[in-house]
Chain A
Amino acid sequence: DTGVSQNPRHKITKRGQNVTFRCDPISEHNRLYWYRQTLGQGPEFLTYFQNEAQLEKSRLLSDRFSAERPKGSFSTLEIQRTEQGDSAMYLCASSPSRGPSEQYFGPGTRLTVT
């Protein structure tokens, strides 16, 4: 399977705990995106990388969120001190670097904060 993969697929955590999600993009894709989606809404942009460089981060994100892509391959998204409002589907997408091109999404990680 050469699509985008995400792990874990589901995560249940208690409020105040830290969680980390992983995304493995399509191998030849240089751009990697993180989104958050709640019920009835479209994916909300969080951040994106061009290779290992984080080019933009949403101002909606608090300092509790951080993302890395250390070697320009897989990426991790960490949420510190989780809150119930963080419960959502976290989606990763990748795209090739030829201009504004199409994105391909992974299956997502569903986070539930209790």
Chain B
Amino acid sequence: SAVISQKPSRDICQRGTSLTIQCQVDSQVTMMFWYRQQPGQSLTLIATANQGSEATYESGFVIDKFPISRPNLTFSTLTVSNMSPEDSSIYLCSVEPYSTDTQYFGPGTRLTVL
């Protein structure tokens, strides 16, 4: 498995601002993922972030709104840009350690946009 931490754990932000969420894992992993969980709903994959390449975004998500960095094998950031109340969600990162075929999730960042 993997131990994953996220910062911040929660935040309340004003409309039009941006928030950067950090994800740190305790071991080197190739595959990192960012998900969104809207209130009362299931998880939706935003993008896959592999070290050394551009993030791959799912349909409905764009880089200008959700820029991602992946500077090394243990760290990634997701920025939620120009926020609106509709961006209020839990944002989770996950990792898939090599040869496990299993994703492990961080504790999530609960974002509220006013």
Does chain A bind chain B? no
Hey, which bits of chain B sit against chain A, CB under 8 A?
Answer: none
Hey, which bits of chain A sit against chain B, CB under 8 A?
Answer: none
